[in-house]
Structure 1
Amino acid sequence: MKVLVLSATGCMGGGLVQALKNDPNHQLYAFTRNPDSDTAKSLKDAGVTVFKGDYNDKDSLEKTFFEVKPDAVFFTIFPDLTGGDGDLEQAQNVIDAVKRHGVKQVLHGSVARIGTQENFDRVYNKLEDGSFFKQYWVKKWAIQDLVRNSGASWTIVKPPVFIQNVVWPHYVNLMTPELPQKLIYKNAIDPKARQWWVDGSDVGKFAAAAVRNPEKFHNKEITFGTELLTTGDIVDKLRKVSGKDVKQYEWPAEEWEASKSQFLLSSQHIMSEMGYDPEGGNPTEYGVELTPIEEWLENNKAGTWMA
């Protein structure tokens, strides 16, 4: 079976490659903007055929799909942080290629709902229509609809917060830049609130299971979470694994209120209010073993601020 991983250098797609790379029943192909990156080179070393391309470049997608003729395609879409519809357009380009080339199976890494449905709806309905956080969800749902209407058998995997967000350079510098610079975890999630956390590459484990058993995963949406943690729990784990004096930021009252109107921090306040989905834990019926958060940190501290 030919599997085209369109997001192969990210943690989700990378997890799929890791799970299938030694499986003789599947041929792996990757699609990346920079085939000369260290991550892409490691894919080549693992026997993966790498194509250069971009979701915005329809010609590169067409060339890759034409040459590979994939049976299954995995993709995920990073949100358009400008507030535009670039993410929707990218997803449409992928699904158009899926339809043109008669791909049998589409695997998509999306995002888990925050809170119970009732609590999510209550907070969501109070948001202004033009707010980034509201549009984030509108577009995530729209992309999921594109997948469902692709004409292929589909599986949508919906993870919560990635532990990679506080370690990998290209995530931590966006999410919590004070962490690698000052060893301060500055986050506007209510300190008492718990969130589901996961190793993002575990998305790839579910996708790999779907490739191996497409009937079991046919038209399934899978929400999962590994551990329910507060920000204090995360700080404790980071301190333990790194051996460094990581501290949780203590918000002055005035700054805490002001943070509610800041771009990224305002979303964290909203997430606190929505709470967590009590049913968001490991769906054991799929036989996927999730990676404990501390174990992932121990295995991935080399080359990061934790080392």
Structure 2
Amino acid sequence: MIVVTGATGTVGRTVARLLAREHPVRLFVRSPDRLGPVEGLAEGRTEVVRGHYGDGEALRRALEGARAAFLVTNHPTEPDDARFTEAAVAVGLRHVVKLSAYAVGDPDADDFITRRQRENEDVIRASGLDWTFLRPRAFMSNTLSWAESVRAAGVVRALYGDAPHSVIDPRDVAEAAVRALTGPGHEGRAYALTGPEAVTAVEQTEQLGEALGRPLKFEELTVDQARAALLRRCPPVVAEALLRSAERLAAGRKADVSGTFEEVVGRGPGAFRQWARDHAEAFR
């Protein structure tokens, strides 16, 4: 049995679908109604446990009898990694594959989110569990935040349009997670995952326009405009952390390309141009 947390999210949903083809899977979710159709559920390969990290009884029930788990936590202040780790140790889970962040490996990255991810990794290391950390760059799917302005006005608005960023397809992150969960030799490894090339927001706008069959316009946001947009959907501490992270983007600190994904999966990662083609309907 493999447990998947975050199964309603960008990566966890794909991890669950890929695993359910060949493995028994248990999904630990706060809102099962957000799962949609679940592969393997009718055939008995997939179970669903409703709960959250603060519900220790539900968490232990989800982890009981499992050999490995995919861990996604995203609350900025709750000790969810510690709660998960305590329950995992108590029920005898052997291996946890945690979704972390690329910036954890950058000593110059010191924003709130990165510090929290470092602390969470330390909690898991200290637990005695076997662990694998996936540290991806930003997801290509983050550009879905542009969909409304693209549909309404054919415009993409973002910070630092000429700054290169080695963004990764979240489907590739999910595939790396499945390899780590099901194959040998991944314990004690931290995988820095990127896409195949660094692309700027201006280049992403052009490639998205090609996928849509119409030109799009790029408009550079000021920092104040970006802050206001972030505060509409994020807590202030997260918004400020993302702005700090964007400063590193502007300084060219997110342009490096890693070959780790190919080492783990056996093929190269997908390019943004293909992601845009595959998701063009979201922007129409």
Relative to the length of structure 2, the TM-score reads 0.83
In the alignment, the residues of structure 2 paired with residue 260 and residue 292 of structure 1 have an alpha-carbon distance, to the nearest angstrom, of 26
Other-structure match for 1:95: 85
In the alignment, the residues of structure 1 paired with residue 127 and residue 249 of structure 2 have an alpha-carbon distance, to the nearest angstrom, of 31
Kindly indicate whether residue 159 of structure 2 is the aligned counterpart of residue 188 of structure 1. yes
The alpha carbon displacement at 1:163 in A equals 1.1
Alpha-carbon distance change, 79 to 182 in structure 1, aligned in 2, over 3 angstroms: farther
Q: How many residues align?
A: 268
Other-structure match for 2:99: 109
Question: Percent identity, aligned pairs only?
Answer: 18
Q: Deviations over 1:257-294 (max 9, x none)?
A: 64587646733234322622535344432234323322
The alpha carbon displacement at 1:45 in A equals 5.7
Partner amino acid, structure 1, of 2:187: H
> Comparing 26-35 with 8-17, which one deviates more in the overlay?
8-17
Other-structure match for 1:20: 19
Mapping of residues 47-126 of structure 1, within 5 Å? 47-66=45-64, 69-80=65-76, 85-86=77-78, 89-113=79-103, 117=106, 121=108, 124=110
Other-structure match for 1:161: 138
In the alignment, the residues of structure 1 paired with residue 16 and residue 226 of structure 2 have an alpha-carbon distance, to the nearest angstrom, of 39
RMSD, aligned CA? 2.6
The alpha carbon displacement at 1:300 in A equals 3.0
Other-structure match for 2:190: 221
The alpha carbon displacement at 1:177 in A equals 5.8
Alpha-carbon distance change, 211 to 266 in structure 1, aligned in 2, over 3 angstroms: closer
Other-structure match for 2:30: 33
8 Å Cα contact 1:110/1:156 also seen in 2: yes
8 Å Cα contact 1:183/1:246 also seen in 2: yes
Unmatched tracts of structure 2, length 5 or more? 229-238
In the alignment, the residues of structure 2 paired with residue 258 and residue 30 of structure 1 have an alpha-carbon distance, to the nearest angstrom, of 40
Q: Deviations over 1:72-111 (max 9, x none)?
A: 010111252xxxx22xx11111111111111011000111
Relative to the length of structure 1, the TM-score reads 0.77
Other-structure match for 2:8: 9
Other-structure match for 1:299: 278
Unmatched tracts of structure 1, length 5 or more? 125-133
